[in-house]
């Protein structure tokens, strides 16, 4: 696969939109325009982006410290920000191994530069829609121990595949690769499709995503639940991200848009 892919600054990139949402600098006007359209739908959108980063940090720490996972595959890793998966995992266990997977040219350029001096972390240019390309990659083969549990992170990735049956088949293939005792951490954009305020917001934001370099399709709770088939949920199950092991009691009225992204962690028996 080519490593000299051009960076297209005329079309919004999902990775760069998310970078802007988190206050990063690796984005262009076309990316900022997409996110500003989302803010026009609900001004709490920046908080939703930060909730996702907080969730990623919490689950990586939980997997490392509470379960003892010491090797991770982070699909669709996105642009480097503060507290990336390898930083959180290796802060708890310096021996932890992390494989990042992405094929966005901007991410590839920044990701490789970030990891030049870290021999416990590798970045591969691969399409997350091809688990074979991920797990049989020459930089992964022999780097991970496929006889021991792995933490697979699919944060805001699978919803870029439109068809539910294709999503389900893809997740089955990923789970087939994982040894027993492995964990899957997954988030997905959610639309209850019930005529509610959340339905209206999710539909508007899905439309904004259509201008980017990736298809993004919102699914119902029951549809997202099927992506964990054959796995055993960790409490509290599939929930809005701020409800996954919150740091304290939830107080006050929660913004409706907080229900737009849901996620969970589940174990392969």
Write out pLDDT tens, residues 62-104: 999 999 999 999 998 777 667 889 999 999 999 999 999 988 7
Residue ranges of alpha helices (H) inside the chain are: 14-21, 29-41, 45-62, 85-92, 105-114, 131-135, 164-177, 197-209, 221-225
**Dihedral sign, Cα of residue 81, residue 84, residue 87, residue 88:** positive
Q: What is the pLDDT of residue 224?
A: 98
**Residue closest to 19 by CA, chosen among 110, 127, 129, 117:** 110
Q: How many residues does the chain have?
A: 269
**Each residue's pLDDT tens digit, 12-55:** 777 777 677 777 777 788 878 877 777 888 788 888 888 998 99
Q: What is the pLDDT of residue 48?
A: 87
Homologous superfamily in CATH for domain 14-267: Vaccinia Virus protein VP39 (3.40.50.150)
CA distance 170 to 172: 5
For the cut 70, the answer to whether the pLDDT of residue 1 exceeds it is no
Structure-token pair, residue 261: 């992204």
All structural domains of the chain with their residue ranges: 14-267
């Amino acid at each position: 696969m080519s490593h000299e892919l051009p960076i297209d600054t005329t079309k919004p990139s999902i990775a760069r939109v998310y970078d802007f949402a988190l206050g990063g600098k690796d984005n262009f006007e076309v990316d900022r325009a997409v996110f500003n359209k989302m803010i026009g739908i609900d001004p709490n959108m920046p908080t939703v982006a930060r909730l996702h980063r907080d969730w990623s940090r919490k689950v990586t720490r939980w997997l490392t410290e509470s379960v003892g996972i010491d090797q991770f595959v982070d699909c669709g890793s996105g642009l480097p920000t503060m507290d990336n998966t390898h930083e959180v995992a290796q802060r708890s266990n310096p021996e932890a191994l992390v494989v990042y997977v992405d094929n966005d040219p901007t991410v590839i350029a920044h990701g490789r530069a970030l990891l030049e001096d870290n021999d416990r972390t590798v970045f591969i240019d691969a399409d997350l829609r091809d688990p074979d390309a991920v797990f049989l990659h020459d930089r992964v083969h022999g780097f991970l121990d496929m006889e021991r549990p792995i933490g697979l992170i699919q944060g805001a990735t699978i919803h870029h595949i439109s068809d539910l049956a294709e999503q389900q088949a893809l997740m089955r293939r990923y789970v087939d690769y994982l040894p027993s005792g492995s964990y899957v951490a997954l988030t997905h954009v959610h639309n209850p499709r019930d005529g509610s305020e959340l339905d209206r917001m999710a539909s508007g934001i899905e439309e904004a995503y259509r201008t980017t370099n990736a298809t993004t399709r919102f699914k119902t709770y029951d549809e997202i639940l099927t992506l964990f088939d054959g796995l055993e949920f960790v409490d509290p199950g599939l929930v809005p991200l701020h409800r996954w092991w919150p740091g304290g009691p939830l107080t006050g009225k929660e913004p409706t848009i907080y229900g737009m992204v849901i996620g969970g962690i589940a174990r392969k028996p």
